[in-house]
Amino acid sequence: MASNNPVLNKIEELKPTFIKRLSDAIAIPAVSGDESLRPKVVEKAHFLAKQLKDLGFHDIQLKDLGVQPPPVSDSNLKLPPVILSRYGNNDSKNKKKTILIYGHYDVQPALKEDGWDTEPFTFYLDEEKQIMRGRGVTDDTGPLLGWLNVVQAYREAGKELPVNLITCFEGMEESGSIGLDKLIIEEADKYFKDVDTVCISDNYWLGTKKPVLTYGLRGCNYYQITIKGPKADLHSGVFGGCVAEPMIDLVHVLQSLVKPNGEIQIAGIKEMVAPVTETENQIYEKIDFSVEELNQAIGSKTSLYDNKRDILMHRWRYPSLSIHGVEGAFYGPGAKTVIPGQVIGKFSIRTVPDIDSKKLDQLVIDHCNKVFAELKSPNTFKTELVHDGNYWITDPFNKSFTAAARATKDIYGVEPDLTREGGSIPITLTFEKALKTNVLLLPMGRGDDAAHSINEKLDVSNYINGMKIMANYLLYYSED
């Protein structure tokens, strides 16, 4: 092993303590999406604040984010607090770097009846397989506690932490991170003033064997097309043939957006996509992934591509257009002869560098207007943006990534794969912009951890090795 950081042995030694801490945390059903469980989310915040205090963190603040905006059934429902705290100080003698650690302590809903093998909020350790199960073990309570555990290991090994830490732990991540953007922007020059870099441990390995570091996320622009015709739904036996049907118009417009092979048909988008570089080609070459893994994940053999490179590039670095549904259309079983009077078609585009979001909106709207005009329909037509979130990309060879790659290699003996993700973690971009620093996504769990699903798990080895990586990452990042 390349590193002889004594903290690593201490982590091994403290394994039972760390498993117990995770077990205690999992017992609190901090489901942010369930209003009736809001007191539990707050209870978990206090539980963590106590842990932080016991471990020597200071300036612990439970930041009040006010009441939750509608839609809520309790109009006075308070948002759970964001936990800010510090470890170490930056005075004139102490020139350590400062890393902001982001994590979330809320979890997705879970009920035994959903199909769990054990109670989701009762921690379960499969001794034989060395797998821990429970809602939140991998998303994101386990990784969040990982940082606390690492601080404990440093302390008990008698080693000074090589960097200063600032925590930003939120309790609304699974419910849209309401209020967090504002807080980050407000605290950028205050609590977060000295932050040199941000580390987020809230995503996963691509597969189950090879560790990864993540350097990019796609954005998402979501659109809807509203077509209005008859004042109310009509019967096709009575009016079919003599009225312009909104649904027919919509199908024509939707089919013009994308080909069945995934190719987006809207002019001007392709031109905005950054060309593939040689470095990038090399990154994809090395990634451990196969078509079979995709088939397994989607439960079918319906991939558009037959090789690793095309699959991953189309998931991560090219835009994609998906058609999600039609509001107002008949969708139930049977053969209802309705002519919907108004329909709303929904679709979104996953965005990548260097797509300009505003320009994209214009291209989409112009395209839809043009296609609709060609239909010469008397119906009214409108395409609009519902919401957007930008993509994120960073240099996977910057100081923070280099430190994390070295730390990963120490523990797993291999260079981590450099991955991107097809979805988004909007807060990543907020940190980067507001704090004017870069962000590292350092996952702890595996691709099959079932984060939002039943039987969420985290392998004990990922928990322990993940902490060892964190410990060495702090060390390597502190070095100049």
Region from 194-202, 243-251, 288-296, 442-450 binding Zn ion, contact rule CB under 5 A: 194-202
Region from 39-47, 197-205, 208-216, 358-366 binding Zn ion, contact rule CB under 5 A: 197-205
Strands 131-133 and 124-126: antiparallel
Active site residue 106: yes
* Entry field: residues in the chain: 480
Site for Zn ion in 375-414 (CB under 5 A): none
Q: How far is the CB of 185 from Zn ion (least distance, A)?
A: 21
Q: How far is the CB of 452 from Zn ion (least distance, A)?
A: 8
**From the annotation, which residues make up the binding site?**
104, 139, 174, 202, 235, 337, 350, 424, 452
Contact of 75 with 139, CB cutoff 8 Å = no
CA–CA distance, 352 with 369 (Å, rounded to integer): 24
In the bound state with Zn ion, the residue whose beta carbon lies nearer, of 148 and 161, is 148
What is the CB neighbour count within 10 angstroms for residue 197? 21
Region from 54-62, 95-103, 136-144, 344-352 binding Zn ion, contact rule CB under 5 A: 136-144
Region from 195-203, 205-213, 318-326, 342-350 binding Zn ion, contact rule CB under 5 A: 195-203
Site for Zn ion in 35-54 (CB under 5 A): none
Instruction: Report the b/e string of 29-46 with b at 16+ CB within 10 A.
Output: bbbbeeeebbebbbebbe
Residue from 10, 38, 51, 140 that binds Zn ion (CB under 5 A)?
140
In the bound state with Zn ion, the residue whose beta carbon lies nearer, of 202 and 410, is 202
Q: How far is the CB of 138 from Zn ion (least distance, A)?
A: 9
In the bound state with Zn ion, the residue whose beta carbon lies nearer, of 140 and 249, is 140
In the bound state with Zn ion, the residue whose beta carbon lies nearer, of 144 and 151, is 144
Nearest alpha carbon to residue 60 among 51, 48, 46, 49: 49
Active site residue 245: no
Contact of 350 with 217, CB cutoff 8 Å = no
Site for Zn ion in 430-459 (CB under 5 A): none
For 316, phi and psi rounded to 5 degrees?
-115, -35
**From the annotation, which residues make up the binding site for substrate?**
202, 235, 337, 350, 424, 452
Q: How far is the CB of 362 from Zn ion (least distance, A)?
A: 33
- 427 to each of 68, 220, 442, how far by Cα in Å? 18, 14, 15
Site for Zn ion in 271-300 (CB under 5 A): none
**106 contacts Zn ion (rule: CB under 5 A):** no
3-state secondary structure of 445: strand
Query: DSSP states of 250-274 as a string?
Result: HHHHHHTTB-TTS-B-STTSGGGSP
Residue from 106, 187, 202, 421 that binds Zn ion (CB under 5 A)?
202
User: Going edge to edge, which strands form the sheet with 131-133?
Assistant: 124-126, 131-133, 457-459
Q: How far is the CB of 174 from Zn ion (least distance, A)?
A: 7
Residue from 25, 44, 139, 466 that binds Zn ion (CB under 5 A)?
139
Site size toward Zn ion, by CB under 5 A: 3
Region from 86-94, 138-146, 238-246, 456-464 binding Zn ion, contact rule CB under 5 A: 138-146
Q: How far is the CB of 169 from Zn ion (least distance, A)?
A: 12
Site for Zn ion in 55-74 (CB under 5 A): none
Q: Residues near 345 by Cβ (< 8 Å), separated by ≥ 6?
A: 224, 225, 227, 250, 253, 254, 323, 325, 326
Strands 164-170 and 98-104: parallel
Burial class (CB in 10 A: 0-12, 13-18, 19+), 54: exposed
For 98, phi and psi rounded to 5 degrees?
-120, 125
Give just the sign of the alpha carbon dihedral 257, 259, 264, 266. negative
In the bound state with Zn ion, the residue whose beta carbon lies nearer, of 140 and 187, is 140
In the bound state with Zn ion, the residue whose beta carbon lies nearer, of 140 and 421, is 140
Catalytic residue among 43, 54, 64, 106: 106
In the bound state with Zn ion, the residue whose beta carbon lies nearer, of 139 and 449, is 139
Q: Which residues, in sequence order, are bridge partners of residue 103? A: 169
Q: How far is the CB of 219 from Zn ion (least distance, A)?
A: 18
In the bound state with Zn ion, the residue whose beta carbon lies nearer, of 146 and 229, is 146
**From the annotation, which residues make up the binding site for Mn(2+)?**
104, 139, 174, 202, 452
Catalytic residue among 140, 170, 173, 417: 173
Nearest alpha carbon to residue 132 among 470, 408, 445, 468: 445
Tokens 């309705």, residue?
A: 338
Instruction: Report the b/e string of 287-299 with b at 16+ CB within 10 A.
Output: bbbeeebbeeeee
Q: How far is the CB of 143 from Zn ion (least distance, A)?
A: 8
Region from 35-43, 187-195, 201-209, 467-475 binding Zn ion, contact rule CB under 5 A: 201-209
Which residues are at the interface with Zn ion (CB under 5 A)? 139-140, 202
Active site residues: 106, 173
